[in-house]
Amino acid sequence: MNRWLVPVLTLLLTGAALLSILAGTVWLTPGQTWDALLSTAPDLPGLIVREIRLPRIILGTLIGASLGLSGATLQGLLRNPLAEPGLLGVTSGASLGAVVAIYFGFASSFGLATPLFALTGGFVTAGIALLLARSGGTLALILTGVAISSITMALVMLALNLAPNPYAAYEIMTWLMGSLSDRSWDHVMLALPFVLPGLVILLLTARALDALTLGEVQAESLGVPVTRIRLMALAGTALSVGAATSIAGSIGFVGLMAPHLVRPLVGHQPGRVLLPAMLAGALLVTLADVATRTLIFGGAPLNIGVFTSLIGTPFFLWLILHVRRRTA
C-alpha cells in the first residue's frame, strides 16, 4: 500500500483535474479541450479552458496542497491530531489582513495589496502565537493559537463594522466561506511565489517530525533543532496557507482531514504523512471545486468551504470511529 500511495494519489489528482477542466457551466468534450489547449484562438472553449479553468485548477491544487501539507506538519509538530492551520490563527490573521486591504482601499490602489496584507496578517498572528507560547510548549501554543484566532476574528468583525462599504459584511461572509470562482492567472502569479517556498519549507521538516514522535527532549537529543523546526513549520504555514487564504478565502477542514485520510496508510509516521497529505489536500479541494460547480441546490452554488465542511465532517466522524474500532 505504502509504495503505491503517492502514485495512486497523483493519478487521482490528475483525474480530478481532468474532470475539473471539462465540467462547469459549459461542459466541454475532451476533444474540444485538447484543441483549446493547443490553440490561441479567442473562441469559447479556448477562453474557458485557458483563461478560466486552467488557472482555477492550478489554484485549487496549490491551495489544497498548502492546507493538507501544513495540517500534516502542524499535527506532527504538535503531536496533536486536532492541529490544523486555522488553529494557530494563520487563517484568521490572513482574513484580517485581506479584509483591511479590501475595504480600506488598499486593494484597489495596488494589486498585490490583498495577498501581501493577508500574508502579513498570517505571519503576525503566527508570530504572536509562537512568541507567547515560547516558554510553554505544545499545549500553550495550541491555547494561544485559539485565543489569537478569536481576537483576530473579533478584529475582522470590527473592521467590517468600520468599513465604508455597506455590503462589506455580506461580501466577507461569502469570501470567508471560500471560493475559487472567477480567479485568473493573475491570482496564480500572486500565489506561486509564496506557496511554493512555503511548501518546500514544510516538506523539509519531515525527518524532524519523525524524531518528534519520541517527544521534544528525545528529538533534541537526536540532533533535531526543535526550535528551528517549530519556526519552519509556522513560517511555511504562514507562507502557503496565508497566500492560499488571501486568494480563495478560508477553506476549512481540508487541513484537518487530509492528514487523517492518509496517516494509517503510511504507518502513522509523521514525516511520511507529509507528501501524501499534500496530495490528498489538493485532491480534496479540486474535487470540492468540481462539486461546487456541478451540484446546484436551489439556484445557488455552494461555496467551496461550505462544501468541504458539510460533506467532509460526517465522513471525518465516520473515519475516526472506524479507525478507533479497528485499532482498539
Partner 1 sequence: MRLAALLAGLVLTALPMPVGSADVPHLPKRPMRVMSMNQCADQLVLALLPPERIASVTWLSRDPDGSLMAREAMRVGINHGLSEEVVRQKPDLVVAGSFTTAATRVLLRRMGYPMIEVDHAESFEDIRRITRQVAQAVGEEAKGEALIARMDRQLADLARNAGPRLRVAAWDGAGFNASEGSLYNAVLEAAGADNVANRPPATSYGRPDVEVLLATAPTLLVKGAGLGRKPGLRDNVERHPLVRRYWDGARTLTIRQATYQCGTPMVGDAAIALRAELRAAAARVKTPLPFASARDL
Partner 2 sequence: MSDLILDHIVVRRGGRAILDDLSLHFPAGRLTAVVGPNGAGKSTMLDVAAGLLAPDAGAVRLGETPLPAIGRKVLARRRAYLPQRAGVEWPVNVERVVALGLTSSLPAFGALPDALLPAVEDALAACDLLALRHRSATALSGGELARAMLARAIVGDPELLIVDEPTAGLDPRHAMDAMRRLRTRADAGRTVILAIHDLDLALNHADGIVAIREGRLLAEGPVLDVVTEDLLCTLYDVRVRILRDADGVAVRFLDDRRPG
CB-facing half-sphere around the CA of 202: CA atoms within 13 A: 34
- What is the closest distance, in whole angstroms, from the C-beta atom of residue 172 to partner 1 in the complex? 7
d(CA 75, CA 217): 18
Q: How far apart are CA 57 and CA 188, in angstroms?
A: 10
CB closer to partner 2, 210 vs 289:
210
From the list partner 2, partner 1, none, pick the one residue 211 interacts with, judged by a Cβ distance below 5 to 8 Å according to partner type.
Answer: partner 2
DSSP 233-265: HHHHHHHHHHHHHHHH----SHHHHHHHHHGGG
By C-beta, is 52 or 212 nearer to partner 1? 52
Q: Which is nearer to partner 1, 95 or 205 (CB)?
A: 95
Query: Which lies closer to partner 1 via its Cβ, residue 118 or residue 199?
Result: 118
Judge whether 250 and 285 are in contact, CB under 8 Å: no
Name the residues that contact partner 2, by CB under 8 A: 79, 203-204, 206-207, 210-215, 217-225, 267-270, 327
Angle at 304 between CA 201 and CA 96, to 5 degrees: 60
Q: Which is nearer to partner 1, 148 or 190 (CB)?
A: 190
Task: Cell 489582513: give the residue.
Answer: 97
CB of 104 to partner 1, least distance (A): 7
Local structure of 300: helix, strand or coil: strand
Choose among partner 1, partner 2, none what residue 107 binds, the Cβ cut-off being 5 to 8 Å by kind: partner 1
In this complex, which beta carbon is closest to partner 2, that of residue 165 or of residue 269?
269
**Phi, psi at 297, each rounded to 5°:** -110, 120
> Using an 8 Å Cβ cutoff, are 304 and 289 in contact?
yes
Quote the least distance from Cβ 151 to partner 1, whole Å: 23
Question: How far apart are CB 142 and partner 1 at their closest, in Å?
Answer: 32
Binding site for partner 1 (CB under 8 A): 24-26, 41-44, 46-48, 51-52, 102-105, 107-108, 114, 163-168, 170-172, 174-175, 181-186, 296, 299-301
Please report how close the Cβ of residue 7 comes to partner 2 at its closest, in angstroms: 15
Handedness of CA 19, 24, 29, 32 (dihedral sign): negative
